[in-house]
């Protein structure tokens, strides 16, 4: 069966109390709408239609590279009206149309695929659930397999969706409710939404009315109950967004631990992208992983680290409070605490980057060390280099960046300034406190600092009496 997906993303989200359109708020570093688009791709949609409305320009620009088709619902006159706007964009060659919602981000592709399979191109399939508190959800009324009366059984065909305000006491006792997600034969859905009317108190076109149309026409209506309520939970305010964030993170933590990752506390982990781990990886509390991060075998990540778009080699240790962004860390390297690796930093095996050291767009070969209070920017650093405390590469002249090249086994003393472009030859030693603006020869001591002097008879100024 081939598939259209319609994603409802037109709502304003007033209760979010934000200028940002609701579907662009982020969960685990990704917009709510992008989560749903990912689910649509995961279920094999051949065409995805996104219905926009409030903040349409911003929403469409945010997911412009998704390959989706956009239609606008202006004004917003209900869910049925939204699908009416999408109908001209649906591909008639696709047998089934799946309806999803841009503020329901945790629907799993496998759940959506099962609903599509239940539809089969010849019946209407609804996704339902049994919340602890059915509250004011619309109830799923099924036929009783014994005598045809409405029941709260999980078996029997769906006869209707009854809104809470219209339900009888018996119907309000039903625990099965409708999520809003459905899969329908495309040709039938087009006919049904064309016949919708707004003869109700809200003067809106309700998509749920197609259930009664299907029943009246003898089209079977099935409801599949999803076990995990979070899959169909919508987000209407900041509290619900935070709640689903934790649900998502619990899922990530469970998956990592299933593959052997040792998490100091699964409740204090944030994965905002793709995190892959080898064997015997250990992650301490309050770490954040963003973008695409790879941790090889035996990596240890200390508490309160932020790691984004990075590869960490086998056996490397990332000490607490380290920030890594767009960097590569070699096997057996030690980084931190309180270190910062910026984009373009590439550390070779067994490199040591210590506390309050920043590295940007620089490569450090095997065994190089910058153990504290240093800056390496736009530098090529050889093997076995020792880069002293308080030393920096002065790589920016106010207009352009320049490169510093440091040969193998160079020793740079404390509080040195290397004014790029400059090269330090293999085995060179730079005396502490030097400002090096010219190339330093290999194997020799180079010192560039003012001569120390003591002034006899000098006295420190005293305060004048008041």
State phi, psi for 164 to the nearest 5 degrees.
-55, -45
Class of residue 183 by CB neighbours under 10 A (exposed 0-12, middle 13-18, buried 19+): buried
CA 145 to chain centre: 45
Instruction: For residues 443 and 377, give the distance between their C-alpha atoms in angstroms, rounded to a whole number.
Output: 24
Query: Which bin fits 373, alpha (ψ -120 to 50), beta or left (φ > 0)?
Result: left
Instruction: For residues 287 and 434, give the distance between their C-alpha atoms in angstroms, rounded to a whole number.
Output: 39
Q: Which of 231, 65, 234 is nearest to 50 (CA)?
A: 65
Helices (H), 63-99: 79-86
Q: Per-residue DSSP letters for 115-135? A: HHHHHTTTSEEEEEE--S--T
Among 54, 319, 372, 409, the one annotated catalytic: 372
Q: Which of 46, 87, 94 is nearest to 67 (CA)?
A: 46
Q: Which of 422, 423, 429 is nearest to 443 (CA)?
A: 429
Q: Which of 216, 84, 95 is nearest to 158 (CA)?
A: 216
* 327 Cβ contact list (under 8 Å, min separation 6): 310, 341, 342, 343, 344, 345, 346, 347, 359
- What is the token pair recorded at 420? 């790029």
Residue 319 designated active-site? no
- Owner of token pair 């508490």: 303
- What is the token pair recorded at 190? 């087009």
- Could you tell me if 174 and 134 are in contact, meaning their C-beta atoms sit under 8 angstroms apart? yes
Catalytic sites, residue numbers: 372
């Amino acid at each position: 069966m081939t598939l259209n997906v319609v994603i409802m993303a037109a709502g304003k989200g007033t209760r979010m109390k934000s200028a940002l359109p609701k579907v662009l708020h982020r969960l685990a570093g990704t917009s709510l709408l992008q989560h749903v688009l990912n689910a649509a791709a995961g279920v094999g949609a051949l065409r995805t239609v996104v219905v926009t409305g409030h903040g349409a320009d911003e929403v469409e620009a945010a997911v412009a590279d998704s390959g989706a088709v956009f239609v606008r619902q202006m004004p917003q006159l209900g869910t049925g009206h939204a699908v009416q706007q999408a109908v001209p964009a649906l591909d008639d060659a696709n047998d089934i149309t799946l309806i999803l919602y841009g503020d329901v981000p945790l629907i799993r592709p496998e759940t959506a695929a099962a609903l599509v399979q239940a539809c089969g191109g010849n019946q209407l399939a609804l996704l339902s659930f049994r919340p602890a508190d059915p509250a004011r959800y619309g109830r799923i009324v099924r036929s009783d397999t014994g005598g045809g009366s409405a029941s709260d059984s999980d078996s029997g065909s769906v006869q209707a969706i009854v809104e809470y305000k219209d339900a009888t006491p018996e119907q309000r006792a039903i625990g099965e409710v409708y999520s809003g997600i459905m899969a329908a034969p495309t040709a039938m859905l087009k006919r049904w939404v064309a016949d919708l009317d707004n003869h109700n108190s809200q003067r809106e076109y309700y998509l749920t009315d197609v259930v009664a149309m299907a029943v009246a026409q003898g089209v079977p209506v099935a409801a599949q109950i999803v076990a995990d309520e979070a899959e169909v939970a919508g987000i209407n305010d900041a509290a619900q967004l935070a709640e689903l964030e934790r649900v998502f993170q619990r899922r990530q933590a469970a998956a990592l631990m299933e593959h052997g990752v040792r998490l100091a506390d699964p409740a204090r982990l944030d994965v905002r992208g793709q995190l892959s781990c080898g064997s015997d990886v250990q992650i301490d509390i309050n770490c954040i992983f963003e973008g695409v991060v790879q941790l090889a075998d035996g990596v240890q990540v200390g508490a309160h680290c932020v790691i984004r778009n990075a590869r960490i080699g086998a056996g490397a240790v990332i000490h607490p409070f380290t920030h890594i962004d767009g960097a590569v860390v070699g096997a057996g390297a030690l980084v931190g605490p309180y270190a910062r690796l910026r984009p373009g930093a590439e550390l070779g095996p067994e490199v040591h980057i210590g506390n309050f050291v920043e590295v940007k767009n620089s490569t450090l070969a095997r065994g190089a060390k910058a153990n504290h209070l240093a800056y390496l920017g736009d530098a090529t650093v050889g093997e076995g280099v020792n880069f002293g405390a308080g030393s920096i590469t002065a790589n920016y002249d106010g207009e352009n960046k320049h490169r510093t090249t440091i040969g193998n086994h160079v020793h740079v003393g404390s509080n040195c300034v290397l004014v790029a472009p400059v090269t330090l030859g293999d085995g060179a030693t730079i005396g502490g406190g030097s400002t090096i603006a010219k190339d330093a020869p290999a194997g020799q001591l180079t010192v560039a600092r003012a001569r120390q002097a003591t002034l006899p008879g000098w006295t420190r100024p005293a305060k004048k009496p008041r």
